[in-house]
Structure 1
Amino acid sequence: MKDRYNFLFRRTLLTATVLSAVLQTSWALSPDKKAGKMTRNVVRQLDYTVTGKVISSEKEALPGVSIVEKGTNKGTTTDIDGAFSINLVNPGTTLIFSFIGYVTKEVVVDGATNLDIVLESDAKGLDEVVVVGYSAKKARYLSSSVSTISSQKLRDVTSNELPNLLQGKAPGVVVSTNSGDPTSPARIVIRGSGTISANSSPLYVVDGNIDGSYNPVDVENVTVLKDVAATGLYGSRAANGVIIVNTKMGKAGKTEINFNNTFGWAQATTGNFRLMNAQELFDFQSTFNPRDPSVLKTNTNWWDQAFRTGFVNNHNVSVSGGSDKTTFYVSGNYYKEQGTVIENDKTGYNLRTNLRSQLTNRLTAAVLFNAQYTRDNYQNSNTLYDAYTNLPFDPAYENGAPTDGRSYPNWLGRDRENFLHSIQYNFARAKSLRTSLDVNLDYDLTDKITISSYNRANFGNGSGATYYDRRTKQGGANGGELYNNNSNNYRLLTSNRIRYSEDFGKHSLTVLGVAEAETSFIEFNTVSGKGLPAGQDVLSVATDILVSPTSYNEQVAFRKFLGQADYNYDNRYFLVGSLVNEFSSLFGKNNSTANFFQLGASWVLTNEGFLKNNKVLSFAKLRLSHGTVGNAAIPNFASLGLYTISQSASYAGVPGAQPFQKGNPDLTWEKIRASNVGFDISLWNRIDLAVDLYNKKSEDLLYQKPLTATTGYSYVWVNAGSVRNRGVEFSLTSNNLTGKQLTWETNFNMAFNRNKILELSGGAATFRPGNRLPLAAGHDMGEFNMPVWAGVNPENGDPQWEKIVKDANGNVTKELTNSYSSVQTAQSRQFTGKSANPKFTGGLTNTLGYKGFTLSAFFNFVYGNWVYNESRAYFDNDGLYESYNQMILAKGWSRWQKEGDVATHPKPIVGGNKDSNQSSTRYLEDGSYIRLRNVRLGYTIPVDAVRRIGFARANIFVSADNLWTGTKFTGPDPEASFSFEDTPGNSSIKYPISRKLLLGVNFTL
């Protein structure tokens, strides 16, 4: 069979060659051709052959290099020894040599019959081209603080959410994965939280345009912009940093088909947390309220009932290629991850098409399209909550069917619910579709002036449904409940740019002008019903409305003008300055526009005569930047006085309007003023080090201020003070071994940040008094404020707290008390000096290569943050909740049993021991951890072997995520949110993160 295919292939190739020769001969014999040229053309087309070899700059043969005759579809590839042979149409033609991981090279043949080609590795590190603002520069010439992560560095963790892939990869970029739920997003904070109530998430820029959808598999690289000189160019939405996502584009040459397939298994991690089994709980409760021993007939492990081994699938196929004029990249992706909690999963489909074409010598166009469809099934019916709280004395099944806690005669658990019964009927699910279409044009008006128009249209649709069947506890009271919601959003963006570049000897100047406009539309509605027949999850059969239907429509507009000048003298001295004027409909009519500026400078010391060609110091650069940027990340209409129209304000059956939000026409932009000093060095062309020091001050903080009920409003948006973040960042890359067979690379980064509230508006001492994380001048935004736990009284086993007492002369003393109510005062609630914000974070990756094998290990770490372990109030409560399961005491803990005992836990008493489980520093724990985030072993199959089975390249790998975590934290997982969009530093009934084992194969045709 193989011989038959080879025969057919050779015959087809011969036929194509002869046909090509005949057609070319016909063209040469056309009447307007001279006879002499006619014969010469035929001979050249049939006989002219070029041979040669392609090697790397390390003088290693490169197999599989694509070689294309420019302007034609004629091409070939190199063999295992890097050798090639190609028949040419024209001996004066140009050959294009391209290979993944190497710079594409064009070579004019000019009559040569043998060519030796050297391909240089794609620019890395200091020579890498980085997109900053609206320009692309080599990293060595930047004045800004940026971090770039290649697609290769992103692939070591399996997720379809980019933030999860960035964790620990860039200094100053803190990612918190607060849940193992695959439908739950991770949070990113860059260089500390600098806002109170406004959104603290960074801005995403995809392929040159703000926002946009993408799949991590299609990402070529990610650049994180951190200082104002870079982020400010994108305007107010970039106040919290910018993450630039560049997706893959096709390359000229042979069409390639790539298959990437990953599958594996996921299990929940439990950390240092363990729940009691029936015997352990029985023994514990017997010390203060003995149960009937008959309860030991049942020993249900509710955790095992709620959790499972999840399955992970990630399959991607892409086709890319093109000519020297037009390139294309088409990719399709399927991703499914089962959560480790039953009935919880995420499914995603993604389609991307990137097309770029040089339409004329001056005009280049790109059309980029992405469609992303997701379907989520949320864990419902209190599954996670019951897994923690249900008693092991209660049975999960009876006669092969899940028990119903409501009707089971001897159910002992407090909530009388068996989630296994509820999930048979209830569900919570959502689906969404996001599409983005880009049309980008670049036109070289002259050799020095380029005008560009980048345009994007985004469309999104989402819907969700939550159903509680009347046969379950959640739906029983109302005879079944159903909640439906639907949303549509549209976003139109146009960004028009003009760029002028000029060289004057050693001087270079680039001037940029940008005009952008964006409009967003949002539609949202919800409707619900009750009284549904069993199993009927449609509203048309509901007997009544559960909650009044709600709907709203919103429209938001942004506009921006930018001017920038970028000066370079002899690649030694660099200056850049920009001015930004912005308009936003989010702010009051008195402050809808604002102006901001950015300045940057850098000095490349190694381009000076006294350091040139230094054998040790390969590169050295000093960077400085300073500037301002606004923050507009607040809800739509935050500055306006709003009314709601509903039946709740009806009169005589007619819906009425009532005040909903107090307006503030003077609401203005939150302003960030930041400075950065950075230093980049490279030693022996092997060790790259970057150090940055920054100071970032946020003023006119946007704050949702609570109002008293007598005002008729709940809150009003105001500008309310200032906060400062200061820090130091380190990034180190070391090529420890660079041999032909053995390589070893180390990547390390670490960042320190200190946060401080400088002032609050109106001279207020504290915002949010009584909160665990109040806001007070002179303190960290994440500093805990609560009664201080003073341990256990060894005489009687009572809990103790510190009580602050002030005498008539103002002298302050501390007393020990067993009365929690006496420390629930502003005086006794103390700032602890312990913050939810970490002192430092970082990551470490080591990558070893030997022949075709690659082994990498990636650690990330967080140190100095504190986490309030709220779940202990339920599972470590000294007898308060007998109807809840309890946790096994952590190593080093003990309970008081008799007089004189020095213990960590009070005497357990029925109903609890004097409110010992109430909020205090008792449950405040060190959240520091180091985690082996990923280990990956891959093998690249030799080219000669894969070609025998019809492939150009092939790689197989095994990978493991979250193998080990070192921490003192006693909950399932120490990782808590650092973002004020959540509750930072809090761990309650937590969905633990997953440990994954994955297998994968990547191959190219």
Structure 2
Amino acid sequence: MYQLITASRDKLMELFLLKNRPLQRVPKTVSLILLLFFTSVSIKAQQVTVDVNKVPLKELFRVLRVQTGFDFLYANEDIQNAKPVSLNVKNETLKSVLDKSLSGQQLSYSIVGKSVTVKKTNTPTIRNEKITGKVTDSKGEPIPGVSVKLKDGTASVVTNTNGDYVIEAPNSAATLVFSYLGFTTEERPLQGRIVQNVTLQESTTGLDQVLVVGYGTVKKSDLTGSVSSVKMEDLQKAPVLSFEDALGGRIAGVQVTSSEGGPGAENNIVIRGGNSITQSNSPLYIIDGFPIENPANNAISNEDIESITVLKDASSTAIYGSRGANGVIVITTKQGKVGKPVINFNGYYGIQNNIKQMDLLDPYEYVKLQIEMVGNAAKQTYTPGDPSLGATAIPGGRELEYYRNQPYVNWQDQIYHTAPMQNYNLSLSGGKDQTRYSISGSLADQKGTIIGSGFKRYQGRFVFNQGVSEKLSFNLNVNYARTENFGSSPSMYGGSFSNSLLYAVWGYRPAISPNSTLEQQLDSEIDPDGQVGYAFNPLLSVQNETVKSSDNNITANAFIDYKFSKDLTLKVSGGLTHSARINDAFYNSRTGRGAPTNIFGPNGQIANLALYNLLNENTLTYRKIWKRWNSINIVGGFTAQKYNVRNNSLMVIQVPNENLGINDLDNGQPYNIGSSSSGNFLNSYFGRVNYAYKSKIMLTATFRADGSSKFAEGNKWSYFPSGAVAWTISREKFMQKIPQISNAKIRTSFGVTGNNRVSDFPYLSPVNFAIDRSYAFGNQYMQGAVPGGLGNRNLQWETTSTYDAGIDLGFFKNRVEITADYYRKVTSDLLLNADLPSHIGFARAFKNVGKVENSGIELEVSSRNIVSKSFSWSSSFNIAFNRNKVLALTQGQDNLQTAVAFDVNSAGLYPYIAIVGQPVAQFFGYKWVGNYQLSDFDRLPDGNFALKSNVPTNGTPSRTAIKPGDIKYEDMNGDLAMTTADRVVIGNPNPDFIGGFSNNFNYKNFDLNVFFQFSVGNDVLNANRMVFEGMGANWQNSFASFANRWTPENPNNEINRANGGGIQAYSSRIIEDGSFLRLKTVALGYTFPKRWLSAMKVNTARVYLSAQNLAVWSKYKGSDPEVSTRNTPLTPGFDFAAYPRARTVTFGFNFSF
């Protein structure tokens, strides 16, 4: 029937139309009726079957033409902006298919004969209507700052302080999208309603969290690499001035240590163990897109930080190439938002005090010790009435018992004090249409718990975002900070113990006449000439020294974005970092360093340091989604960065007018003048491809090429590739049958990164122009030049190959989330100062010869334990296990020993060792076995003791000099003589595992955060005990524990006798367990209800009480187990008079309007 109708139609059409035959015989009306009839019959008879997904109209017309034989006539410009068509129909008419395909396309069609003509219709004017509403949370409280956007449109606003919004939108078919950090995104079709009130639910999953990674952003659910982030709302609850102080223990695998606990102390961050043993292991920082290797993190206000992301594996860090081996920390600061101006203030004030002081000998025990050590000289000084002095005894003079229970000066109380701390931040942000801005400023003032120490910061920040057009936008971000540090480090050794503050305090005599001795410069009782190191008054010394370091730091970063299309974007950025640092120090005659007995006399020094860092980056980003299931993100670009540093210093001694201090240096005697300058360049090309199929299979490939001026020709360039794959198993049908598992993804990656943290031009041989190398030639004084070392033009990058395998799990609608990773890193071509053959003329030179491995497991768990309208409880936990191992050193070398100098007697000692096949840094020394007891000696006829012939010595040159109660070591090689060959590994400063856990509680308007940090299995070398518990000098005080020393009446095996410390040596006696559990942060707050604040035009208001470092549980005997005063990759965990960490309690107030 169909063929018959078609044939009849075609015949008649040929007769009446196509053959141009005269139509006179047939009236025109009849012709028209026949034409329409047969056309209608033909169209209805065409049965069309179509199954397409998001295809262009042109493609759909081709399919219809093949099935129907109809021609389609159209102008390309009419359909080029038409929406793709998705259609699935079976045996429908052509007219029905065309109606569905062109619905809402602003296109019309007409059919004449076998031709379909498609034309653009006149676009009617869409009348926008004002849509209003309020956005609230599950408790009914308004939420300010919620983004309200028109889906598939450009209109965008944010809610005001009352949660209200007004937006213009086409009322008929528009959809509004409501989004806010921490809440589930909500889409609301208008459907004719002009009032849209929305309640947002708190997000129960972090899978939709958008993380800032290298040169872009990515949803957490789409990650292929190992990336972690920290909740800034938790981090900002800690009353600290640097985000690094709060970061430790919050992210698995990130270890944060500091050499000192004082205000403004710099932190050392290591991610997944140290890769290098001679160069820096610090991560690269990306601050608002600006890569900085050694940033002034104290110059950033915590309140300005929006997010912190840590990139750990090579898939994430390889895009930074030669600077990515140590991990990358990406910091994004707060930007302006569209909406009315919002003013936010946050400020707190608090107090700090020490958790622990060292217990010292009181006057009775001190005098008793000095009598044992010094003998009659001490008796004549302290107990002149002692009958044992015989004829020289003074009748009625003091005896030892006089000092029992006498009041005395606790010198720690004199230098430690309760110190105030305050921090205030004020910001203004807002925007309209295409313009957004944010302006902030902060003031911080932290006094140290040691008098004379402290930290100040004056900081300001300006952010400006301007949309020039739909395609072009501009961004400017400027941060300025002036920081000031006061006081010298107590662990700094200055040639004598009097110049090391805590040693001077611990070693000073516990005087019993406080009124006179507090103002007495020298302890005349024991040192009338000022020659004994512990005789200088430490209180007067610290009060009269002036030590200040000021830094003016500015970071400016600007970029433009140009969108060639919705898929292709160009970004061009330029940045500058400049730091001008001035270090001043002056020591007058009432300080240990400037006393008349010191050869320098009153002296001072000035050092100026200027750093410049210039950056240009150019990136092209292409994003595309096609055929619904496929998405690709391609980033490519090139960068150029220049770094320069200039340093000038001057030291002047014998300053005549000390009252003028640093301002009178021009009248003193120049002692040391220094000047240096250096710089380097880095040029790079990079690219990355991310591909995802159905958000189920994700692939990432990255490549970077870096060229650095630090290396010689032939080694300037290096290449760093990486690849990663992830499979979200939970999206598979077989996993969807397990409702308890809401997310499951496995991922793996491999890549190569580098470490360029070497000095500038290390391949060149330095030449020194020293004064003492001058000579006379031709009756003229000539400057001599001496090679300072041997360069090596073959030096190249340290490279790290990293393998990572991880799994991400979510249970019970992601109320419980688990992330676990296993990694293995191998760093090769380590830069070592390797031994050279003797004929070279230099003992050592740097070579690429070493290899180190780090491997470990990381686990992060977060849970929302209770979620209700009035009460919620959430928890987080992380733990990391890292093991490092030396795989190779220089040829023929199986170990590398490292010295640490903390006093004049320790310079030649080597307490650290790196052994092939063992951890990078281990403690190295003698194995302590207690004290020599009477049974180790033969009693001579004269009553003296002689060490038995089968008992080994303790290193003392003469066997006859060893006495009962002296310290004793194990003879490891059986030769009965204690030599360097008897030294062994005596401890490991690397922890078995580290981590932290926190709990957040919310009850109505109250919130409570409790955070603990822990470290287990790490040892600490307590060098303080070498001096103050058994090896102290005459007239020096000691720790109270030394009162339990060995005596004939108390033959213990724990502490040696007075003068029985033997040779200066490191031993297992001073290696202690540094494991700890720290109650790091507790914050309790109350947020005032909105209804209380609305009348005052206040948006939010919160009061809080927060505390830092409340308590520490540890077996460590020192001030704090989290210590590393000589921190390098080869010397961690060393405690020498470290500035103790303070307990801080603050009260604060935050509001916005």
The correspondence of residues 769-788 of structure 1 with structure 2, limited to 5 A, is: 771-788=910-927
- State whether residues 149 and 178 of structure 2, in contact with CA within 8 Å, keep that contact through their aligned partners in structure 1: no
Aligned to 2:503: 385
Instruction: Give the CA deviation at 1:429.
Output: 0.8
* Letter aligned with residue 171 of structure 1: A
Q: Give 1:782 shift.
A: 1.6
- The equivalences for 1:250-399 within 5 A come to 250-270=336-356, 273-285=358-370, 289=375, 291=379, 292-293=382-383, 294=398, 296=403, 299-379=408-488, 382-393=500-511, 397-398=515-516
Aligned to 1:160: 241
Alignment of 1:691-710 (within 5 A): 691-705=820-834
Contact persistence 2:285–2:331 (CA under 8 A): yes
Q: 1:460 to 1:981 in 2, by over 3 A?
A: farther
Residue 138 (structure 1) shift: 0.7
Are 1:403 and 2:520 an aligned pair? yes
8 A Cα contact 2:602 2:653, kept in partner = yes
Aligned residue among 149, 170, 189 for 2:230: 149
- One-letter amino acid matched to 2:969: W
Q: Aligned residue for 1:896?
A: 1046
Question: What value does the CA root-mean-square deviation take over the aligned residues?
Answer: 3.1
Question: For 1:723, which of 835, 838, 852 is the aligned residue?
Answer: 852
Matching of residue 994 in structure 1 with residue 1113 in structure 2: no
Q: Please tell me whether residue 950 in structure 1 is matched to residue 1091 in structure 2.
A: no
Cα deviation per residue 1:315-368 (whole Å; 9 max; x = unaligned)? 000111112422211110111111111000110111111112222111222110
Amino acid at match of 2:1138: K
Task: State the secondary structure of the residue aligned to 1:460.
Answer: strand
The CA deviation at 1:396 is: 5.8
Match of 1:644?
A: 768
Query: By how many angstroms is 1:96 displaced?
Result: 8.9
What does residue range 556-571 of structure 1 map to in structure 2 within 5 Å? 556-571=680-695
Matches of 1:132 and 1:339, distance apart in 2: 37
Q: What CA distance in whole angstroms lies between the structure 2 residues aligned with 1:65 and 1:183?
A: 34
Q: 1:841 aligns with which of 994, 1001, 1017?
A: 994
TM norm structure 2: 0.76
Please tell me whether residue 824 in structure 1 is matched to residue 979 in structure 2.
Answer: yes
Partner Cα distance (2:564, 2:156) in 1? 30
8 Å CA contact retained: 2:157, 2:165: no
- Uncovered stretches (5+) of structure 1, i.e. residues with no partner: 1-39, 806-813
SS in 1 for 2:661: coil
2:437 and 2:463 in contact (8 A); partners too: yes
What whole-Å deviation, never above 9, does each CA across 1:834-886 have from its counterpart, x for those lacking one? 311111000010111100111111110011111111000111016x4242221
Closer, same or farther in 2 for the Cα pair 1:232/1:72, shift >3 Å?
closer
Q: Is the 8 A contact 1:68 1:254 kept in 2?
A: no
Alignment check: 8 A CA contact 1:725 1:753 kept: yes
Matched, 1:172 2:253: yes
Deviations 1:17-44 (A, max 9, x none): xxxxxxxxxxxxxxxxxxxxxxx99xx9
Partner of 2:320: 234
Indicate how the Cα distance of structure 1 residues 96 and 727 shifts in structure 2: closer, same or farther if over 3 A, else same.
closer
Distance 1:925 1:589 in 2: 49
**Greater Cα shift, 936-945 or 155-164:** 155-164
Q: Matched residues in 2 for 1:971 and 1:783: separation? A: 20
Q: Return 85-94 or 845-854, whichever deviates more.
A: 85-94
The count of residues paired between Structure 1 and Structure 2 equals 935
Match of 1:588? Answer: 712
Rounded Cα–Cα distance in structure 2 between residues aligned with 1:50 and 1:754: 59
CA distance in 2, matches of 1:981, 1:653: 44
Aligned mates of 1:141, 1:482 — CA distance in 2? 58
Q: Would the alpha carbon gap of residues 358 and 612 (structure 1) be closer, same or farther in structure 2, given more than 3 Å must change?
A: farther
CA drift of 1:390 comes to: 1.1
Contact 1:233 1:562 in 2 (8 A): yes
Sort the Cα spacing of 1:677 and 1:580 in 2 relative to 1 into closer, same or farther, 3 A.
Answer: same
Q: 1:75, 1:631 → 2: CA distance?
A: 44
CA shift, 1:299, in A, is 1.4
Alignment of 1:140 onto 2:221: yes
Determine the C-alpha separation between the residues in 2 that align with 1:525 and 1:669: 30
Q: How does 1:589-604 map to 2 (within 5 A)?
A: 589-604=713-728
| Residue of structure 1 in register with 2:101 after alignment | none
Deviation of 1:387 after TM superposition, in Å, equals 1.8
The residue number in structure 1 matching 2:624 is 502
- Distance, in Å, in 1 between the alignment partners of 2:524 and 2:359 is 29
The CA distance in 1 between the partners of 2:689 and 2:565, in whole Å, is 19
Q: Mark the CA change 1:185 to 1:208 in structure 2 (over 3 Å): closer, same or farther.
A: same
Whether the 8 Å CA contact 2:534–2:1036 is kept in 1: the answer is no
How high is the TM-score relative to the length of structure 1?
0.87
| Structure 1 Cα separation of the partners of residues 671 and 632 of structure 2 | 62
What are the superposed Cα offsets for residues 773-804 of structure 1, whole Å, 9 maximum, x if unpaired?
A: 12221111122221111112343433221112
Q: Which runs of 5+ in 2 are unaligned?
A: 1-124, 384-397, 490-498, 899-908, 935-963
Pick closer, same or farther for the CA change 1:118–1:945 going to 2, 3 Å. closer
Partner of 1:575: helix, strand, or coil? strand
- Percent identity (aligned): 28
Quick one: distance in 2 between partners of 1:113 and 1:661?
A: 79
Distance 1:771 1:608 in 2: 58
- Judged with a 3 Å threshold, the aligned counterparts in structure 2 of structure 1 residues 74 and 920 are, in CA distance, closer, same or farther, namely closer
Q: Give the direction of change, closer, same or farther, for the CA distance of 1:421–1:900 in structure 2 (3 Å limit).
A: closer
**Equivalent residue letter for 1:504:** W
Cα deviation for residue 657 of structure 1 reads: 3.0
Residue identity in the other structure for 2:557:
D
1:679 aligns with 2:815: no
Q: Match for residue 609 of structure 2?
A: 487
The SS at the match of 1:762 is: coil
The aligned residue for residue 113 of structure 1 is 194
> Contact 1:531–1:542 at 8 Å: present in 2 too?
no
Which AA in structure 1 matches 2:789?
Answer: Q
Q: In the superposition, relative to structure 1, how do residues 54 and 161 fare at CA in structure 2: closer, same or farther (>3 Å)?
A: closer
Please say which structure displays the higher CA radius of gyration: 2
Instruction: Work out whether residues 609 and 645 of structure 2, in 8 Å CA contact, stay in contact via their aligned partners in 1.
Output: yes
* Distance in 1 between residues matched to 2:730 and 2:753, nearest whole Å: 32
Indicate if the aligned counterparts of 1:742 and 1:850 stay in contact, CA closer than 8 A. Answer: yes
Q: Per the alignment, in what secondary structure is the counterpart of residue 606 of structure 1?
A: helix
Give the 3-state SS of the residue equivalent to 1:549 in structure 2.
Answer: strand
* Deviates most, 585-594 or 285-294: 285-294
Counterparts of 2:704 and 2:1012, CA distance in 1: 40
Q: Distance in 1 between matches of 2:1079 and 2:810?
A: 28
Deviation at 1:242, TM superposition (A): 0.6
Structure 1 counterpart of 2:624, one-letter code:
E
- 1:135 is displaced (CA, Å) by 2.3
Which amino acid letter does the alignment assign opposite residue 751 of structure 1? A
Match of 1:126 among 161, 184, 207: 207
Q: Post-superposition shift, 1:637?
A: 2.0
Deviation of 1:976 (Å): 2.3
Contact 2:587 2:604 in 1 (8 A): yes
1:881 aligns with 2:1037: no
**1:385 is paired with a residue of what secondary structure?**
helix
CA distance, structure 1, for counterparts of residue 239 and residue 274 of structure 2? 28
Compute the displacement of 1:118 (Å): 3.7
Change (3 A) 1:316 1:509: same
Contact 1:846 1:857 survives alignment (8 Å): yes
- 1:523 is aligned to 646
Whole-Å separation in 1 of the counterparts to 2:147 and 2:319: 40
Q: Which amino acid aligns with 1:783?
A: Q
Corresponding residue of 2:335: 249
Residue 794 of structure 2 aligns with which residue? 666
